[in-house]
Amino acid sequence: MRAQTPIRRKLLMVVLLTSGAALLLAMLAFIGNEWFAYRSATQQRLNILGEVIATNSTAALAFDDPQGAAQTLDALRADPDVRGAALYDARGALFAVYPERKAGDVAGRVPDRAPEGALATSDEALQFSNGKLSGFLPVAENGRRMGTLYIEYDMRALRGRMLLFGLIALGVMCAAGLLAYVLARKLQRQITNPVIALTEVAKSVADRRDYSVRAPPHEGLELGKLTGAFNLMLTQIEEQLRRLHLLQQITRGIGERHDLPSIFQLVLRTLEDHMKVDFTLVCLLDAQSEALTVETVGGRSREAAASLGLTEGTRVPIDGNGLSRCIRGELVYESDVRALDFPFPSRLASGGLRSLVIAPLAVESRVFGVLICANRIENAFESVDCEFLQQLSAHVALASHQAQLHGTLQRAYEDLRQTQHTILQQERLRALGQMASGIAHDINNALSPVSLYTQFLLEKENSLSVRARECLVTIQQAIDDVASTVGRMREFYRPREAQLALAKVDLNRLVHQVLELTRARWRDVPQASGSMVELHTDLAQDLPQFMGADAEIRDALTNLIFNAVDAMPAGGRLTLRTAVRTAEKGGAARRVVVEVADTGVGMDEETRRRCLEPFFTTKGERGTGLGLAMVYGMVQRHSAELDVRSELGRGTTVELGFQAPESAIDPTVGVRALRVPAKRMRILLVDDDPLLTECLRVMLEEDGHQVEAADGGQHGIEAFRAAKSAGKPFGVVVTDLGMPYVDGRKVAAAVKEISADTPVILLTGWGQRMQEEEEKPEHVSIVLSKPPKMHELRAALADVSAPEPARERA
Amino acid sequence: LRGIAALACAMALVPGVGPALAADPAPTEYQLKAVFLFNFAQFVEWPADAFASADTPLSICVLGKDPFGSNLDEVVRGETAAGRRLVVERHASLSDVAACHILFVPASQSRDVDGLAVRSRDSRTLLVTDGPQQGAMIGFVKERNRIRLRVNLAAVNQAQLSISSKLLRIAEIVGPRPEKR
């Protein structure tokens, strides 16, 4: 049977072959038996017949009556299968023959004489040979041998009979085969149908991956078991697939979430929806690994959790059993918590819960929490459930870990962005400041001759008319204002670069001054337009003094008050408050704070963020955008703090916080040394601006000094060296800082090299900055800013010409 | 074996018949008739009172002139029938005849047959005649070169002899139908 033959045909063929073989064997046995029985019966019958003929032939032989003998033999006619018979007399001669010989017969079937051997034997039996039964029988009467009978029987009848039997057997076999076929075909279904059904189910499972199909149940013993086992296997596969799908679903779900509560909530809800659990809980281990804290309770477990006292935030001490094993990283399964004598299982048992699974949440083999599932039925969790929960807890742990990392990363990124924003702001201010600084330098240089000649005229020209002198004074004031404005504009961004020396500041006094100075703005102007600004001051008593620049702080407060009034076009309440605050974290311990608050329009977030930027304004053409930027510059220079709080429509509060000194301030600091009038000196002037050198030379010579001017650094150094070698050295060198090729620093270095004692005064458009930062270049004694003021120059000359101690004090 | 030997001897005694059986000439009339007489002893049964004692021999008698010559003696010599010896007796006249079991009456003595018929019936003697005779129990009838037997069954029965049915089948039955015994 081939491998592709269907089981039905195989079974059918097995049945048919088996029954056919059995039947064939039976038939052969039957025919064989029939053959031998028939032969034996025929032999016996013929022997008897022979005996009868022989007995009846004795008289015919005895009385020589062949006719009578022939008549006796003729009785054999009754059996058509007797082919021939003959009677021989005592001497063996043929006596009578059957059938009677006719005229044409050349040779009969019977022998003409009885063989010698046949005469000798008395009990001869008939024998089979050549398809016939033949033999010689003795003929005797009362023991006397009368003759011999020969008889021949044709066995064709036997063959015919056997043929008939064969045909009958064939017919029976055919009928039996047909019957067997019909029966087997009908009965084999009991075996093949379930097998075929199983095959169909297996095929549909394999083809469509549909594990929900089931083979129809079967009652047979083995096939029933097979079908049952197959169906069970399908159920298990389906269950496993379901869990796999669930795991995938949960994993995907928690992969999209970045916060722990949301992850845990999702996991617990999915567990409650898809697993047989009555109570779910996630606990996190505290840092010291001493106790668990309930982090999340499953949505349907809230009631039970409340009754068990396991609401979110509850601390659960770690038990001897169960929990502690889980903390070590094992999955714990208890089929019945009533059997356990530990606090936590007992607590669950008191709530009607029976079976319990605790799965550890571990990252890099460090357990940070546990997932708890419980059921009201004992033995509710199978090993596949435990396996599933273990896998799930591994995924949850990983996701939690990632969520934590994500949070950390997010915070770091936020910090970085804030820092970057601050740096960007500072950088922008610095760039603007540098640009302003360059412009200021050029303006200062350009103003220098104007300033110097104006001072010169006012000092030396006594013949000026009153009108002219007034004009000159105005010019001088305007120049000072320009220089001051330019200076501030240039400096507003610089940290701690006060134009003036720091002095003790009384903040309350400054507030009063500013209020007086700005009265027109906050009271008179609004009143004129029909609105009312209500002033409210809240000044702390015993405010500590601190070091600062009065003028800058005054300017800043003025700016803030202007802004506040501008923010209240329809009137409102203006509040100025001073206080001492103790800072919460970092920074100075105590701060002196002044606050300017309004109840105006406020700022949106964008405006609040950009309000300190230079040139950013909300006032259109009326504003310069520099007000708050100036304030910010002042704050930076004082190492103070600026806080802008604003709410759209509710108002803005700007707070300035200054560091309060730790101890009382030394009153002598910042007081200028006593000036000593300068003696007459030989002065070398070095500058690349002939207008300025000429102007300075005239003025210094007017003071009685001997002045020589050099155009540029190189000429200056050469002139100094020449004078030194000529024995007429200069007492002091006044040089410009910014010169092409050889600048002021190089000049100073060269001068010190030639004559170490000769002081160098540096004039510079950058001078103010150098003074404040104590960025005094090497070899330079004093730095003066442009445009030069004659009284400052004179003071400097006096200083450098004074004895050593006096210079040190400068 | 004895039978075969006797037959062989009988054949050898037939005149003109040499010891070599291959020649096998047809036997003479009286040779055949001698064998027939002997064979009657085989196919006929006598009542017990026909014999004086258990070892009384069965006697075959020939009346008058003996036509057999030595043939009959040759045939009978040494033979038995039903355990009895066979003897051949020759009687010259009717008066001599006594206690014969088989009595052959040649044609020459046929006038004695009527007298013998009654005597034979009483003396349990099988009366055999040469040629058909009234009163004979068995007569030899020559028919187309063959010797046939004619049996008067009533006479046989009256003598209380019983003839084998085998013999009767080949014989011609004459006389009245035998009454049932």
Are A425 and A612 spatial neighbours (Cβ–Cβ below 8 Å)? yes
pLDDT for residue A495:
44
Considering only the beta carbons, identify the residue of A59, A119, A140 that sits closest to B170.
Answer: A59
Lowest mean pLDDT among A372-386, A586-600, A643-657: A586-600
Chain A residues touching residue B171 (CB < 8 angstroms): 63
Mean per-residue pLDDT, B150-167: 89
Chain A residues touching residue B35 (CB < 8 angstroms): 62
pLDDT for residue B1:
44
Cα atoms in the 13 Å half-sphere on the side-chain side of A98: 29
**Which contiguous run of DSSP H or E holds residue B173?**
strand B172-174
Chain A residues touching residue B43 (CB < 8 angstroms): 59, 62, 141
pLDDT for residue A623:
67
CA distance B39 to chain A (A): 6
Taking the C-alpha atoms of residue A400 and residue A366, their distance in angstroms, rounded to an integer, is 13
Chain B residues touching residue A56 (CB < 8 angstroms): 166, 169
Mean per-residue pLDDT, B30-58: 89
pLDDT for residue A589:
67
Q: Is B167 on the interface with A (CB under 8 A)?
A: yes
Q: What is the pLDDT of residues A659-676, one digit of tens each?
A: 887 655 444 444 343 344
Taking the C-alpha atoms of residue A34 and residue A43, their distance in angstroms, rounded to an integer, is 14
In this predicted structure, the answer to whether residue A122 has a pLDDT above a threshold of 80 is: no
Considering only the beta carbons, identify the residue of A59, A64, A93 that sits closest to B164.
Answer: A59
- Top residue of A119, A144, A148 to mutate, by most chain B CBs within 10 Å, is A144
Per-residue confidence band for A409, with pLDDT thresholds at 50, 70 and 90: very high
The answer for B 79-98 residues in CB contact with A (under 8 A) is: 81-82
Q: What is the pLDDT of residues A35-53, one digit of tens each?
A: 888 888 888 888 888 888 8
pLDDT for residue B9:
42
In this predicted structure, the answer to whether residue B26 has a pLDDT above a threshold of 90 is: no
Q: Say whether B24 and A63 touch across the interface (CB within 8 A).
A: no
Full strand arrangement of the beta sheet holding A82-89: A94-98, A82-89, A144-154, A132-141, A127-129
> C-alpha A373: how far from its chain's center?
25
pLDDT for residue A667:
45
pLDDT for residue B8:
45
Considering only the beta carbons, identify the residue of A58, A91, A141 that sits closest to B21.
Answer: A91
Q: Is B169 on the interface with A (CB under 8 A)?
A: yes
Cα atoms in the 13 Å half-sphere on the side-chain side of A482: 20
Are A791 and A764 spatial neighbours (Cβ–Cβ below 8 Å)? no
What six digits make up the tokens of A374?
């419980």
Q: Say whether B170 and A65 touch across the interface (CB within 8 A).
A: yes
Are A432 and A393 spatial neighbours (Cβ–Cβ below 8 Å)? no
pLDDT for residue A416:
92
Bridge partners (DSSP) of residue A711 are A687
Cα atoms in the 13 Å half-sphere on the side-chain side of B155: 26
In this predicted structure, the answer to whether residue B13 has a pLDDT above a threshold of 50 is: no
Q: Say whether B169 and A68 touch across the interface (CB within 8 A).
A: yes
Considering only the beta carbons, identify the residue of B81, B82, B170 that sits closest to A63.
Answer: B170
**What residues in chain A have their Cβ under 8 A from chain B's Cβ atoms?**
55-56, 58-60, 62-65, 68, 72, 90-91, 93, 119, 140-145
- Top residue of B170, B172, B173 to mutate, by most chain A CBs within 10 Å, is B170
Question: Which of A317, A253, A308, A252 has the alpha carbon at shortest distance from A281?
Answer: A308
Bridge partners (DSSP) of residue A292 are A285, A316
> C-alpha A319: how far from its chain's center?
34
Bridge partners (DSSP) of residue A735 are A686, A762
Mean per-residue pLDDT, A526-530: 80
In this predicted structure, the answer to whether residue A34 has a pLDDT above a threshold of 90 is: no
pLDDT for residue A587:
52
How open is the CA angle A727-A733-A737, to the nearest 5 degrees? 145
How open is the CA angle A664-A669-A675, to the nearest 5 degrees? 155
Whole-number average pLDDT of chain A: 82
Per-residue confidence band for A459, with pLDDT thresholds at 50, 70 and 90: confident
Lowest mean pLDDT among A114-128, A209-223, A347-361: A114-128
pLDDT for residue A598:
93
Q: Say whether A55 and B166 touch across the interface (CB within 8 A).
A: yes
Q: What is the pLDDT of residues A718-741, one digit of tens each?
A: 999 998 888 888 889 998 887 888
Do β-strands A82-89 and A706-711 pair in parallel, antiparallel, or remain unpaired?
unpaired
Per-residue confidence band for B104, with pLDDT thresholds at 50, 70 and 90: very high
**Which contiguous run of DSSP H or E holds residue A504?**
strand A503-505
Cβ neighbours for A234, distance < 8 A, ≥ 6 positions apart: A201, A205, A211, A213, A214
Mean per-residue pLDDT, A150-172: 85
ipTM here: 0.81
The C-alpha R_g of chain A, in whole angstroms, comes to 68
Considering only the beta carbons, identify the residue of A59, A90, A141 that sits closest to B169.
Answer: A59
Do β-strands A682-687 and A706-711 pair in parallel, antiparallel, or remain unpaired?
parallel
What six digits make up the tokens of A307?
């009754």
- 3-state SS string over A148-198? EEEEEEECHHHHHHHHHHHHHHHHHHHHHHHHHHHHHHHHCHHHHHHHHHH
Taking the C-alpha atoms of residue B37 and residue B147, their distance in angstroms, rounded to an integer, is 12
Phi/psi at A710 (nearest 5 deg)?
-125, 135
Search chain B and give the residue with CA nearest A71: B170
Cα atoms in the 13 Å half-sphere on the side-chain side of B94: 14
Taking the C-alpha atoms of residue A772 and residue A774, their distance in angstroms, rounded to an integer, is 5
Q: Say whether B36 and A93 touch across the interface (CB within 8 A).
A: no
What six digits make up the tokens of A33?
């038996």
3 state SS of B115: helix
Q: Max alpha carbon distance in chain A (Å)?
A: 224
Per-residue confidence band for A514, with pLDDT thresholds at 50, 70 and 90: confident
In this predicted structure, the answer to whether residue B119 has a pLDDT above a threshold of 70 is: yes
Cβ neighbours for A478, distance < 8 A, ≥ 6 positions apart: none
Considering only the beta carbons, identify the residue of B32, B166, B171 that sits closest to A64.
Answer: B32
Mean per-residue pLDDT, A471-496: 70
CA distance B148 to chain A (A): 8
Are A732 and A797 spatial neighbours (Cβ–Cβ below 8 Å)? yes
Query: What type of residue is B38?
Result: F
Q: Is B146 on the interface with A (CB under 8 A)?
A: yes
Q: Is B149 on the interface with A (CB under 8 A)?
A: yes
Q: Say whether B39 and A62 touch across the interface (CB within 8 A).
A: yes
What six digits make up the tokens of B81?
């029938």
Question: Which of A481, A443, A538, A502 has the alpha carbon at shortest distance from A771?
Answer: A502
Which residue is listed with tokens 């499972």?
A205
Phi/psi at A90 (nearest 5 deg)?
-60, -25
Chain A residues touching residue B28 (CB < 8 angstroms): none
Considering only the beta carbons, identify the residue of B3, B21, B43 that sits closest to A145.
Answer: B3
Considering only the beta carbons, identify the residue of A55, A68, A140 that sits closest to B170.
Answer: A68
Phi-psi region of B145 (alpha: psi -120 to 50; beta: other; left: phi over 0): left
